[in-house]
Each structure stands twice: as C-alpha cells, then as structure tokens.
C-alpha cells in the first residue's frame, strides 16, 4: 500500500491508498525538522504505525514536509519512517512541491503556503523552478500564522487595542507578559504558540484592527515574495493553508490591490496529493 503525508509545523495529514477500496485519512501532530526535536516525529510515526495503521504493509511513503530543505533534514525524516516501516520505499520532499502539485496540477503557476509558516514557489507544471528565500518565523514567515500572532501580541501589549477588543482578548486568554515571553523564548515550538493567537483573530475578522494587521501582513508577503517571480502578473497565484483559507476575503483584497490573479484556495492539500499518488 501507499502512504502519503503532508506535514506542516502544527499538524500532519496522512492518507493510506489501498489498491482497492476506500482511502483512509488520519491526522497527527505536525513536524518541522528546523524547529522540532526528532523525537516528536518518531513518536508520532510510531503511534501511527502501531495504533492507527496496525498490521498494514506499507510499500511506499511519499512525505511532503515543512522544513525539508536539504538532504540532512530529509534523511532525518526518512530514517524515522523506516524505523516503523523498514521495507518501505520512502520519498521525502519539500512541502512546496506538494503545494505546487496540489494547486497547479500540470499547469504553470505560483503556489503559496500560508499556515503556521509561509513559503512560495514558481512552478512550471512539472518542477519548482524558483523559490524566494524563506527565513523562518524569527526573520520572515510574512503572512503566516506566527507572523500574524506576533503582530497581534505587539498591538495588545503596546495598548493599541480598543476597550472592546481588549476585554474580549483578556476573557479569551490568561496569558500575561511573562507567559508569552516564556513560550516564545523558551519553548520547543514558539512558532506554533504564536500562530495559536490567530484563532482569536479569526473570531473577530471584521474588527478594523484585526483587518489592518492581517492585510498588512498579507501585503508584505505578496510584496516580498510573490511579486519577485517572473510572470507574476500573468500567472495564477494559488494558496494552501489555514491562514489563507480563513482570511480569504482579506487576501483577495491584497491580491486585487496589486493586480495579481487569484487561483485556487485549498485548506488541506492531502486529497489532491492522494489523487496524484493513487495507483493508476
């Protein structure tokens, strides 16, 4: 059987593709080899093999993951998977290729990821041909959940929220300054922690300050990444990820302001990737 995975920093979606019968979809915690310890992935894969997919023989694993930039990081993931399925042929690829295959199919386009983190690529219908550098959540990740979370927390602690929004946020969370600082500077997953505050933002999508924060972040993302690609005014710009999906109307406004053509908006690419890898 074939197992396909799409993993961001927060959540991973897996699909089992049998030769006959229904596909089986499961989810685990996400993994990013840039920011997470390898034990996290190893534990999730073991739970997957022992609890969710027991006694299933896996022939192939196609893993698309955040942070899979180079051979070293890809090997970390491949080794974890082979520890649970030693006979499987394992292919580890950057999540950008997964995003491009899911959104563009066999057509040229610009594919973007806006989830916990962010990234983009230029795709010619077969391969990723260009990628504006992704600097991660500390230096970049414009437009992402972690980027939005940082901007909102700054507005809160710098007393820029109006009374209504301030009261709503303080009823939403008990996080004070030291709690936030400890989670950002001392935890294993600060980007995921920061992105968690977009849940509150999503509950108040029409508040002017929330709209300003989100629009500004998306504008910076488009200007610093998407508009750097050759042909960006002619090619469709596609999006994958929870942030793009839930704040679609604001993202469309930012695209329109820059005369960019909106393409597909996909919350989760796993179904499209399942079709891509399904036995013919």
CA-CA distance, 178 to 181, in Å (whole number)? 5
SS3 percent helix, strand, coil of the chain, rounded to 5, is: 45, 20, 35
DSSP state of 49: I
CA-CA distance, 145 to 151, in Å (whole number)? 10
Class of domain 2-98+270-277: alpha beta
What beta strand segments (E) does the chain contain?
2-7, 11-17, 24-29, 60-65, 89-94, 109-114, 118-123, 128-130, 236-240, 261-266
What global pTM score does this model have? 0.81
Q: For the chain, what are the domain ranges?
A: 2-98+270-277
pLDDT in tens, 231-241: 999 999 999 98
The answer to whether the CB of 32 falls within 8 A of the CB of 9 is: yes
Q: Check whether 35 has a pLDDT greater than 80.
A: no
pLDDT in tens, 153-182: 999 999 999 999 999 999 999 888 999 899
Pick from 41, 116, 100: nearest CA to 73: 41
């Amino acid at each position: 059987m074939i197992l396909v995975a799409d993993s961001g920093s927060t959540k991973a979606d897996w699909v089992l593709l049998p030769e006959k019968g229904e596909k089986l979809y499961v989810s685990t915690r996400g993994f990013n080899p840039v920011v997470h310890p390898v034990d996290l992935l190893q534990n999730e894969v073991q739970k997957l093999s022992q609890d969710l997919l027991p006694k299933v023989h896996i022939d192939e694993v196609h893993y698309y993951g955040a942070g899979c930039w180079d051979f070293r990081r890809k090997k970390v993931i491949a080794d974890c998977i082979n520890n649970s399925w030693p006979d499987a042929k394992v292919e580890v690829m950057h999540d950008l290729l997964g995003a491009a295959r899911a959104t563009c199919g066999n057509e040229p386009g610009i594919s973007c990821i806006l989830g916990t983190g962010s990234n983009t690529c230029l795709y010619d219908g077969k391969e990723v041909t260009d990628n504006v550098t992704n600097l991660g959540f500390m230096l970049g990740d414009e437009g992402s959940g972690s980027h939005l979370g940082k901007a909102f927390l700054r507005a809160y602690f710098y007393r820029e929220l109006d009374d209504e929004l301030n009261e709503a946020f303080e009823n939403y969370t008990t996080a004070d300054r030291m709690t936030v600082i400890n989670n950002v500077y001392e935890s294993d997953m600060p980007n995921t922690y920061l992105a968690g505050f977009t849940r509150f933002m999503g509950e108040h999508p029409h508040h002017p300050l929330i709209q300003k924060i989100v629009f500004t972040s998306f504008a910076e993302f488009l200007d610093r990444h998407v508009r750097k690609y050759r042909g960006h005014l002619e090619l469709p710009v596609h999006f994958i990820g929870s942030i793009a999906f839930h704040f679609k109307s604001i993202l469309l406004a930012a695209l329109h302001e820059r005369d960019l053509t909106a393409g597909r908006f996909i919350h989760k690419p796993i179904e499209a990737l399942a079709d891509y890898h399904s036995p013919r």
